[in-house]
Structure 1
């Protein structure tokens, strides 16, 4: 069975991506269908990024505290490390 293309083998995916991006942009900016303030994609991505950043920072702090506890337990001092 022969494959059929709308424009060509390479332009069809490009047209699909362009159409999807245009539809997304129109959906985000149209006053009727626009998401509520604080629920646009860029705001949600920024929120999630900051949330993950805080979680990474907290995890790093826990790791540092655990490392200090272990070094104290084995009696390793800063002078011993040098």
Structure 2
């Protein structure tokens, strides 16, 4: 034993929690800086993603012109 008693264990646990919180904070900050639009309005980003998926399906030939236009109008109405 190192001779610190109870405070030694408390200090080690506190320091471990402190560093974990610092690392989590840095990771969150980096993610936020790299993708600033993700936190704000989720409605517009999910709508944009849905339009991208629709465009990809149309480009692959999975849906025809009429289906593409119908789905696009439906997405833009919301």
TM-score range with shorter-chain normalisation? 0.3 to 0.5
Higher relative contact order (CA 8 A, sep 6+): 2
Higher helix share: 2
Computing the radius of gyration over CA atoms, which structure comes out larger, 1 or 2?
A: 1
TM-score after normalising by structure 1 = 0.43
